[in-house]
Amino acid sequence: MALAPRLIDVAVPADAAAAVLVLHGGASRGDRMMVSPAQLSVLRMIPIARRIARVDRRRLAVFRLLNSRRGWDADRTPVRDVHWALDQVAERFGRRLPTCLVGHSLGGRGALLAAPRPEVRGVVALAPYVYATDAPTGLNGQRLLIVHGTRDRIADPARSAALAQELASRTAVGYVSVEGAKHAMLRRHGVFSGLAADFAAATLLGSNPSGLIARLESGERWIRV
């Protein structure tokens, strides 16, 4: 059976001014490649997508992407699914909307590597599973935010910090370390979801930032909370 990505509506105003694409993680499970809407890596992004949608239901379109397959391999990575989803959003609205990518784990990796797309204005990578070599080429003013728990034992926060250092010479990058948080983002979940929503609002809608986003806007690039 052919595996194909799917785009799920969260909030789709008719006259959307901008869009957010929410990307799940999830490693492969042996020969089980199909992405299930019920797998935990998919489910944990639902409340984050809903919180982002509450920012402005009149101007902000929010979608969740279900990847064509689990994990990440040389033949097909989630980055291709992100490009497909961005094209689908453009086709739906008849134009390319300014977009923020919000991804967790491998979804965060995919979001960062898809950042050079011209419609992408910003990326939020939550506990991203990355390597220092994952710096995308062709960035043109995109704003990046990496949020990582200090007790993550699946995606090494040292690797995401090293990547942030590498990217800082190319574009605006903020890095927030969340004290005591693990990979699943269950502990201190509000920090992760709140930063994703606030960053998307500031980046796409020009909303006046507050709290941690205001600190990042003022030039503070490395924050521990």
- Residue 90: what pLDDT? 97
Kindly write down the DSSP assignment for every residue of 110-125, as one continuous string: HHHHTTTSTTEEEEEE
Q: For 6-224, CATH number?
A: 3.40.50.1820
Mean pLDDT score, 210-225: 92
| Residue 149 near residue 127 (C-beta atoms within 8 A) | yes
- Residue 30: what pLDDT? 58
pLDDT band at 31 (very low <50, low <70, confident <90, very high): low
pLDDT band at 113 (very low <50, low <70, confident <90, very high): very high
Residue ranges per structural domain of the chain = 6-224
- Residue 70: what pLDDT? 81
d(CA 102, CA 144): 10
Judge whether residue 208 has pLDDT over 90.
no
- 92 burial class (0-12, 13-18, 19+ CB within 10 angstroms)? middle
Judge whether residue 1 has pLDDT over 60.
no
Strands 120-126 and 172-178 turn out to be: unpaired
What would the pLDDT profile of 116-136 be if each residue is shown by its tens digit? 999 999 999 999 999 988 999
- Residue 178: what pLDDT? 98
Identify the sign of the CA torsion 148, 151, 156, 157: positive
- This prediction's pTM: 0.95
Work out the number of other CB atoms within 10 angstroms of the CB of residue 70. 23
